[in-house]
Structure 1
C-alpha cells in the first residue's frame, strides 16, 4: 500500500473556488426567486384589493337599482289600480240608471211626478 497523497494545493483551491461560485450562483437564483414571489404576491394583493372595491361598488349599485325598481314597480301598481278605477267609473257613467241616481242624490233632480224631500237640519 502506498501512503495517502494529498492532491496538489492549487487543484484543491480551484475546486473550492468552483464550489463557492456554485453556491453563490445558487444564492443569486434563490434571491431572484424570492424577489419574483414578492412581486407576484404584491401584485396579487393589489389585484385582490382592486377586485374587492369593484365588487363592493357593483353590489351597492345593484342594491340601489333594486330599490329604484321596487319604487317604480309600486308606482306602476298604483297607476294600474287608478286606471282600473277610472275605467270602472267610465263604464258606470254610460249606465242611465247610475246617471239618474247621481242626478237625484247630488243635484236633487227628480223624475216627472216625483217630489224630493230634504231632511231638515
Structure 2
C-alpha cells in the first residue's frame, strides 16, 4: 500500500509563530552553549597543559638540586676529613719530638754522632 500524499494547509496563527520563534531561540541558545562549553574546554586544556609543564619542570629542577646536594655533601665530608687531618698535623707540629723526627726523615738531618744512610727506593722496590 502506498501512502497517498495529502496536502495539509499550514495554520498561521499566533501560537504557531510563537512556537517557531521559541524553537529558533532554543536552537540558538544550544549553539551558543556548545560554543561556550567548547571555549571553556580549550581554556581548561591550555591551563592544564601549562600546569603539567610547570610541574614537570619543577620536578626536574628539584631532582637536579638533590643531585647537586649529594655532591656537595660528599665534598663537605671530604673537606671535614681533610680539616681533621690538618688539625692533627698542627697538633703534632707543636711537639718538639715530632718536629725532630720529621726533620730527620724529610730533610736528612741528624743528631750529633749519627750517620745517615740513604737507600734508594728503586732498589728496594726491585727486590720485592
1:80, 1:57 → 2: CA distance? 34
Tell me by how many angstroms 1:109 deviates.
3.8
Q: Alignment RMSD, CA only?
A: 2.4
**Distance apart, 1:101 and its partner CA:** 2.2
What's 1:92 paired with? 92
Pairwise mapping of residues 1-121 of structure 1 onto structure 2 (< 5 A)?
Answer: 13-112=13-112, 115-116=114-115, 118=117
| Residue pair 1:108, 1:116 contacting (<8 A) in 2 also | no
Structure 1 stretches of at least 4 aligned residues deviating more than 4 Å after TM superposition: none
| Count, aligned residues | 111
Aligned-residue offset at 1:41: 0.3
Q: Deviations over 1:77-112 (max 9, x none)?
A: 211211111110010011122123223333444444
**Structure 2 residue aligned with 1:3:** none
Q: Which runs of 5+ in 1 are unaligned?
A: 1-8
